[in-house]
Structure 1
Amino acid sequence: MQWLELHNVEYGECIVLGGSHHDILMVDCGSINQKIREGDLDFSAYVDPTLMERYSGCSGREFLLTHYHRDHLCGLYQMLSKRGGYFDRILLPVSPADARGQHLLLDFALFVYAFLPRQSDYAQVNLSALRIFSRIAKSAGADRVYPIAGGSSFLFDGVTYEVLWPDREGYPFSDLFASAVEQLNVCLASPFLPQVAQRFLELKARYGKAYDACCQSSPLRAEGIAQLDALLEQIDALLPELHLLPTAPDVVQILTDPATTTAYSDELNTASVIFHNRRTSEASLDDILMTGDAAPESFDAIADRLYHDYYIVKAPHHGTASHWSHWLSEIAASHILISNGEYQKGGKIASEYVDLPAVKHCTNRAACPWYASSGCSCNRVACCYDLPTGAGLTIKCPRCRDRKGTAPCGIYVVSHGGERACLCDDLPVQPGL
């Protein structure tokens, strides 16, 4: 990795790693809002043409999705709708299975698919999880789609990256979420219900097995994806009868219960892909830990596989306090990436990040309590070790001082007007500087 660009996509994420041969790996691309608040720019207009044109001349383009939330995903759909072959390879996370081999996230998604209106935001998230293999394959081709999970590895810019989380099997779902899925199955398990209830449960089980088989191929095979689509079509045929079941209102009540919806969203975050580079010798500038929206429990599960230090660590879940892990304070990092925005329903940036002895690169200062109280960037008192003359305050960085040229660290926050230095209270530079 030669450089990194952190895009300001409001309360969303888009991080691009640049290789030495002018190739890129884009990790996530999405926004929770239709408009990016800085300048009130439409997100789709930022994706096309701005974002796509920025990397159109690259020798190779790859994409990695960490999980199925729209603030990480919707930009990928928009890019592929404009140019299906934009990415040479697309790495998609595998939905994990528990100790019994049950894909609880897929189980839950199939219940939502069958019992809730398709136009709801809630259902659209689930449709992404169920339809994404088919949707991406139709745009880009199945031979460009690679499933990844804990234990997977991939190569970029001559460096091997290892997927640390989530485990494909034996995944530890929370008791709350597992209980909700069990309640949904119980609602349809009575032998006194019409046959359509049992038929749905059978198709759901077959979908899980077909999903397992499909994900065994890397890249995916068209016939495996077609089997998943065929099972969904069979479920579609059952919908009118399913909605008439006497227990259908009970299913809907469970699905729409606020505790259940929160548990499902939390599980998607907790199952975010975490990956880092495989070290072949000593620590280097290639050392990077990418975390998606991983939860503290995710870090607990992989703590023994983390390095003691990294050059770059991405703060999970937009740097919010709810996803802060004590392991982040025990890992030495030179630079920390934080994607946050003016939309702050998920929370402000955790104050713990300010106390870390690392240079923070934030896409939006509106979510930062430090900036709100001090009126300046916390990096003004941070020591940067990438300066040409040796360690010193970040305010002495030539990029920060003159807002032109290249940054010694190679890390840029990209605003809608061009590149910015690491000090969040600096004005954006003009394009091309």
Structure 2
Amino acid sequence: MYNVGFGDCYCLRDRKKSLLVDFGTNNSRIEGRPRREIFDLIISDLSTIECKNLLLTHFHMDHLSGLLYMMKNKDSSFDFGKIYLPDVFSEEKMSRTLVLLLLADLVKDSCLPSRQVSLFALIDALLERQTQTVELLGRGKIFEEKYQALWPDAYVTQRETNEVYDLLKEKFPEIMDVLLDFAEKLRQIIWSMTDKGKVLLENNQKNIRAYVYEREFRRIKALPEFKELLTWLNRNQVNLRQFKHKISIVFQNARDGELNLLFTGDVQPEHMQMIADNYDGKWPLYEHYWCIKVPHHGTQDHYFNFSGYEPENMMISNGIHFANSKTQSRELRTSPLYGGLFYIPDTHMYCSNCDCCDCYENGCSCKEADVISPSYYKDI
């Protein structure tokens, strides 16, 4: 578990290969050190691993900024064998969700330090590495021969997308058509990096990489209709940022055992409850977990009570977050409700930093707490 401030970065290692789960932060400095120094330390660790893959739970900068740094500043020796992404790219109808993801970074309440569009930045970085292989994960998909994705669910995502998309389409039909066409081209780029997509492109003899996407996106953002759409979204406080959480990958071990892991990314509380309820009757959670990574830095709005699963270890990656307002900063602190979980018998708690925890007063109050700060990683 790496200490990346307000961000996520984990490495699951075994004797055969390793899986990096997310790699990013929203902080410019971590424990008083420039972000790039922490990134370089982590990349140095990864350079010692020959067989390594990467899983990005979703497309927020605090989960992928390190990957962008790595891909744009390092040589090919740091390539991953495979990059796992949430499946919002395998079907044309998913382009609607991609439109909302593109817009999410451009509204004023996005909490981002810049106007960089994370989804577009990721695709741009992947295009730099023409040989990169991507695998898309959705509910039930087995990967790495040992893990199973529990979320996202394409059907649920599409249903929730349509509720918002249809409203915007009704009010701004022309610009939404332009964005949908652009999103479809981005979808095809990612799809072309998968094994199935490569075969289809070869059969259809298409060359989608020749499209000047960055220039096209700048042209779209300069359109008066686009600016009018953004103004309306900001004025009406439409929460598009949640759609990045709605597609966040959740996964566990494919087979029940002693060392069960549950990684939750930034999954929405209502979706985590659906997973816990085994809403489709196909893939239940296990009765016991060796280790659980709690959703979204342990914040109040993503709180979920995991005590019923008797976790031996729990992980919260959090750090001081300098948001756009005091209210946002408070909302991004670790929830005091997790304090009760810290006292589950035989449960060990790992967190990044006490300074952003609402349970912290005159020292860490968690039973057998293990705070990473000021170190940059912890072996569990």
Matches of residues 372-387 of structure 1 in structure 2 within 5 Å?
372=361, 374-380=362-368
Output the CA distance in 1 between the equivalents of 2:100 and 2:258: 42
State yes or no: 1:264 paired with 2:240. Answer: yes
State yes or no: 1:106 paired with 2:98. Answer: yes
| Structure 2: 5+ residue stretches without partners | 279-283, 322-328
Q: How far did residue 266 of structure 1 move?
A: 1.6
Output the CA distance in 1 between the equivalents of 2:121 and 2:241: 18
Q: Name the structure 1 match of 2:153.
A: 167
Output the CA distance in 1 between the equivalents of 2:272 and 2:7: 21
- Alignment partner for residue 136 of structure 2, among 147, 153, 159? 147
Task: Confirm or deny: 8 A CA contact 2:95 2:187 kept in the other structure.
Answer: no
Matches of residues 31-430 of structure 1 in structure 2 within 5 Å?
31-36=25-30, 38=31, 40-48=32-40, 50-80=41-71, 81-86=73-78, 87-95=80-88, 101-109=93-101, 123-125=115-117, 128-130=118-120, 132-139=122-129, 141-155=130-144, 160-171=146-157, 174=160, 178-189=162-173, 200=178, 203-204=181-182, 206-207=184-185, 210=188, 214=192, 217=195, 223=201, 227=208, 230=211, 232=213, 235-236=216-217, 239=220, 243-244=223-224, 247-257=225-235, 259-260=237-238, 263-279=239-255, 283-285=257-259, 287-303=260-276, 304=278, 305-326=284-305, 328-343=306-321, 344-356=329-341, 357=344, 358-372=347-361, 374-380=362-368, 417=375
- Seen in structure 2, the aligned counterparts of structure 1 residues 377 and 301 have a Cα distance that, compared at 3 Å, is same
Deviations 1:288-309 (A, max 9, x none): 0001111111112222221121
DSSP 3-state at the match of 1:169: helix
Output the CA distance in 1 between the equivalents of 2:147 and 2:176: 43
- Seen in structure 2, the aligned counterparts of structure 1 residues 123 and 258 have a Cα distance that, compared at 3 Å, is farther
Q: How far did residue 312 of structure 1 move?
A: 0.4
Q: Amino acid of the residue matched to residue 106 of structure 1?
A: L
Q: Structure with the greater relative contact order (CA < 8 A, sep ≥ 6): 1 or 2?
A: 2
- Seen in structure 2, the aligned counterparts of structure 1 residues 319 and 108 have a Cα distance that, compared at 3 Å, is same
Task: Confirm or deny: 8 A CA contact 2:318 2:352 kept in the other structure.
Answer: yes
Task: Confirm or deny: 8 A CA contact 1:110 1:204 kept in the other structure.
Answer: no
TM-score in terms of structure 2 length? 0.79
Higher percent of residues as strand: 1
TM-score in terms of structure 1 length? 0.70
Output the CA distance in 2 between the equivalents of 1:414 and 1:221: 45
**Which protein shows a greater Rg?**
1
Q: How far did residue 220 of structure 1 move?
A: 5.7
Q: How far did residue 106 of structure 1 move?
A: 1.0
- Seen in structure 2, the aligned counterparts of structure 1 residues 309 and 133 have a Cα distance that, compared at 3 Å, is same
Deviations 1:175-219 (A, max 9, x none): xx75543343224437xxxxxx59726725754874796476458
Task: Confirm or deny: 8 A CA contact 1:66 1:273 kept in the other structure.
Answer: yes
- How many percent of aligned residue pairs carry the same amino acid? 25
Output the CA distance in 2 between the equivalents of 1:170 and 1:72: 23
Output the CA distance in 2 between the equivalents of 1:415 and 1:375: 13
Output the CA distance in 2 between the equivalents of 1:115 and 1:368: 28
Q: How far did residue 29 of structure 1 move?
A: 1.0
DSSP 3-state at the match of 1:151: coil
Output the CA distance in 2 between the equivalents of 1:234 and 1:200: 14
Q: How far did residue 164 of structure 1 move?
A: 0.8
- Seen in structure 2, the aligned counterparts of structure 1 residues 252 and 418 have a Cα distance that, compared at 3 Å, is closer
Q: How far did residue 227 of structure 1 move?
A: 2.4
Output the CA distance in 1 between the equivalents of 2:339 and 2:228: 46
**C-alpha RMSD of matched pairs (Å):** 3.7
Q: Amino acid of the residue matched to residue 9 of structure 1?
A: V
